[in-house]
Structure 1
Amino acid sequence: MPPLSSDPCLFRRRRKDARPAELLEAALTLFVEKGFSATRSEEVAKAAGVSKGTLYLYFPSKEELLKAVIQHFLGAEIEAGIQEAAAADGPTAQAMEQLLVAWWTRIYEGPASGVFKLVITEIRNFPEIGDFWVERVVRPGEEIVSGLLRRGIARGEFAPVDIDFAVHSMLMPMILLCVHKHSFAACGIAKELDLDPVAFMKAHFRLIFTGLQARPAESIPRAAA
Structure 2
Amino acid sequence: MEDIAKAAGLSKAAIYLYFPSKMALLEALIEAKVAPLANQAQSLAAAGAADPLMALRMLATAAAYRAGDAKVFAVPRLVIGISGRFPEIADYYRTNVVEKARAALEALIDAGKAKGVIRDIDSKAVTRAFIGPLFFEAMWTHVLRGESAFADPHTLIEQHFDILLNGLEQRA
TM-score, structure 2 as length reference: 0.87
> Cα distance, 1:120 vs. partner?
2.0
Q: Specify the alignment match of 2:163 in structure 1.
A: 207
Task: Kindly state the Cα deviation for residue 53 of structure 1 after the two structures are TM-superposed.
Answer: 1.4
Per the alignment, residue 45 of structure 2 pairs with: 85
Tell me the distance in 2 between the aligned counterparts of 1:174 and 1:98: 14
Equivalent-residue separation in structure 1 for 2:111 and 2:165 (angstroms) = 14
Q: Give the CA deviation at 1:67.
A: 2.0
8 Å Cα contact 2:39-2:101 kept in structure 1: no
Q: Number of aligned residue pairs: give it.
A: 169
Q: Say yes or no: does 1:129 pair with 2:89.
A: yes
SS at match of 2:84: helix
1:35-74 equivalences in 2 (<5 Å): 41-74=1-34
Aligned residue type for 1:180: W
- Whole-Å Cα distance in 2 between the matches of residues 110 and 81 of structure 1? 20
Tell me how far 1:89 sits from its aligned partner.
6.0
User: Separation in 2 of the partners of 1:63 and 1:196?
Assistant: 33
Aligned letter for 1:215? R
Corresponding residue to 2:149 among 196, 201, 219: 196
Q: Which has the higher contact order (CA 8 A, sep 6+)?
A: 2
State whether residues 146 and 167 of structure 1, in contact with CA within 8 Å, keep that contact through their aligned partners in structure 2.
Answer: yes
1:38-80, Cα deviation, whole Å (9 max, x unpaired): xxx2221122122221100111222322222112111122212
SS in 2 for 1:124: coil
**1:181 aligns with one of 141, 162, 165:** 141
CA-to-partner distance for each residue in 1:123-156, whole Å, 9 max, x for gaps? 1222111211111011001011001000000011
- Asked if 1:168 is matched to 2:128, the reply is yes
Query: Which residue pairs with 2:101 in the alignment?
Result: 141
2:62, 2:118 → 1: CA distance? Answer: 22
Deviation, structure 1 residue 110: 5.6
3-state SS of paired residue (1:159): coil
**Aligned counterparts of 2:167 and 2:89: Cα–Cα separation in 1:** 36
Which residue type is aligned with residue 20 of structure 2? P
Q: Would the alpha carbon gap of residues 75 and 135 (structure 1) be closer, same or farther in structure 2, given more than 3 Å must change?
A: same
User: Aligned in 2, Cα 1:95/1:43: closer, same or farther, shift over 3 Å?
Assistant: closer
Unaligned runs of 5+ in 2: none
Q: 1:108, CA displacement in angstroms?
A: 2.2
* Cα root mean square deviation, aligned: 1.9
- Deviation track 1:23-49 (CA, whole Å, cap 9, x = no partner) reads xxxxxxxxxxxxxxxxxx222112212
Quote the Cα distance in structure 1 between the aligned partners of 2:80 and 2:143: 12
Could you tell me whether the CA contact under 8 Å between 2:49 and 2:108 is conserved in 1?
A: no
- Give the secondary-structure state (helix, strand or coil) at the position aligned to 1:125: coil
